[in-house]
Structure formats: C-alpha cells, structure tokens
Amino acid sequence: MLVTGDFNVELRPLEPYAQGRYSIRLSRLSIDKTFTGDLMAVRSLRRRALPARK
C-alpha cells in the first residue's frame, strides 16, 4: 500500500519545570504533527530539553 500526503510540524516551548544544579534550566518542548492526505492523523509529543551549549 502506498499513501501520499503532507504533514505540518508545530513546535512550542513550554514553561521550564525545574532549575537544576549549577543553574541549568530543564526545559520542555511540545511537538504536534498533523498528517493530511490519504492518511489523516495527529501526533503529539512532549520532550525535555537542556539549553544549547555556548
């Protein structure tokens, strides 16, 4: 089976949930994918993240 279509990705930062040792902020990110076409679906994820190193 072959399906075709598009998908859209929306990234949103969420409020940090903790301040770690040495002032490292533990952040969260919301990721929502919407698939359209032959396959229609929505996928939602929540991820933890550390800030990028300088």
Mean pLDDT of the chain: 84
Average pLDDT over residues 32-45: 94
pLDDT at position 25 is 73
Q: Which long-range contacts (CB under 8 A, 24 or more apart) does 19-24 make?
A: 24/50, 24/51
pLDDT at position 47 is 87
- Say how many CA atoms lie within 13 Å of 23 toward its Cβ: 0
